[in-house]
Structure 1
């Protein structure tokens, strides 16, 4: 059984712990740069950084950080050190055999990824989210709870689609876009925009996903 370290000791870690394949991975503990606790959810707090770990290469890793910008920062650290990332796919998720899932992704409870869709590295497809056929979800994106992406949509790097949002088919959502909860996207969205409403309209610019709504 492989030893697993979870990076990030916040609320998202609860969902991750619930969906881990415990037949193949044993949770060794958490790394979190902000936590002063000695444990989280019954597991020890091992360190505040990768550099503090002894024999870091012996572990597998999963990044349980919801913010796309900060998750990417940790992803880049792990890749630079050639440490091993896993996917966490809940047993209730439906992932087509014709879909492609990258590295370090979370596919939550009752999420659906349909045929010929590609979910790239370090993405979150949260509980009950639907990614229809032929979609392309770029690195570090977050498809939030109960959101719907219809067929042949391209979601850019680091974009965040809020809970219960709906994206019409055959659209392009740019890089580091934030789509507000409940929004209905009917047109392409340019890079670094925040959109909200029904239909979705640009409400402001954003900077690399640091502001999520």
Structure 2
């Protein structure tokens, strides 16, 4: 088995460890070497049954690391650090997920249980796709996106970098959503959304703008 480190000793990191365990139950592929965390106070502690080894300086060139954060901006910062260290980031797909033909997933993307992705979907790097999310066909998603549980997305979407969907959010088909936009829990997106906004409600409308 290949060794893999989880970057982030928190709740999302714990879920990533569970996904790795479920993958290994089907096909023994990964040995979790431990958690990487930049919080020095956690050094040497155990979390979710694995040791917290220290910060990124503990990683050797060529190591395999998966990011255990869900916030897009956190993932981007860690990914840039890993890239500078020439660290590998595999893609993890839970055994219960269903992927259609010609689906392309970027490095470091994590697919949780029950996810369904229709054919001809492209998802960028370090995406977090939580439980029971669904993707319509012929769509493109940028790097660092995060889907909370139960998100349902229509086909023919163009979704930018760092977009975050809250629990149970959904969209109709043929929409564009700009970079770093946040969509609230339960929102229904029926029109294009600009970049750097927070959109909530039915139908979803921007309520504020921000700079990431």
Give TM class, smaller chain.
Answer: over 0.9
Query: What does the per-residue CA deviation read over 1:5-24, in whole Å, with 9 as the maximum and x for residues that have no partner?
Result: 10011111222111113311
Q: Following the alignment from structure 1 to structure 2, what is the Cα–Cα distance between the partners of residues 34 and 172? A: 37
Match runs of 1:133-144 below 5 Å? 133-144=137-148
Kept in 1: contact 2:177–2:195 (CA 8 A) = yes
User: Partner of 2:173 in structure 1?
Assistant: 169
TM-score (ref. length: structure 1): 0.93
User: Partner of 2:47 in structure 1?
Assistant: 40
Q: Following the alignment from structure 2 to structure 1, what is the Cα–Cα distance between the partners of residues 52 and 114? A: 30
Q: Which one of the candidate residues 191, 195, 206 is aligned to 1:202?
A: 206
Does 1:25 pair with 2:30?
Answer: yes
Which range moved further: 185-194 or 77-86?
A: 77-86
Report the alpha carbon displacement of residue 35 of structure 1 after superposing the two structures with TM: 6.2
Q: Following the alignment from structure 1 to structure 2, what is the Cα–Cα distance between the partners of residues 116 and 39? A: 41
Report the alpha carbon displacement of residue 96 of structure 1 after superposing the two structures with TM: 1.4
Stretches of 4+ moved more than 2 A in 1?
Answer: 34-37
Kept in 1: contact 2:140–2:159 (CA 8 A) = yes
User: Partner of 2:70 in structure 1?
Assistant: 66
Does 1:192 pair with 2:196?
Answer: yes
Q: Which one of the candidate residues 146, 154, 159 is aligned to 1:155?
A: 159
TM-score (ref. length: structure 2): 0.93
Does 1:83 pair with 2:87?
Answer: yes
Query: What does the per-residue CA deviation read over 1:33-55, in whole Å, with 9 as the maximum and x for residues that have no partner?
Result: 236331110100000x212x1x6
Query: What does the per-residue CA deviation read over 1:128-169, in whole Å, with 9 as the maximum and x for residues that have no partner?
Result: 000110111100111111001100111110010111001110
Q: Following the alignment from structure 2 to structure 1, what is the Cα–Cα distance between the partners of residues 160 and 135? A: 14
What are structure 2's unaligned runs of at least 5 residues? none
User: Partner of 2:13 in structure 1?
Assistant: 13
Q: Following the alignment from structure 2 to structure 1, what is the Cα–Cα distance between the partners of residues 131 and 211? A: 26
Report the alpha carbon displacement of residue 185 of structure 1 after superposing the two structures with TM: 0.4
What are structure 1's unaligned runs of at least 5 residues? 209-213
Q: Following the alignment from structure 1 to structure 2, what is the Cα–Cα distance between the partners of residues 6 and 133? A: 31
Q: Which one of the candidate residues 131, 141, 146 is aligned to 1:127?
A: 131
Q: How many residues align?
A: 205
Q: Indicate the SS of the match to 1:85.
A: coil
Instruction: Give the alignment's Cα RMSD to 1 decimal.
Output: 1.2
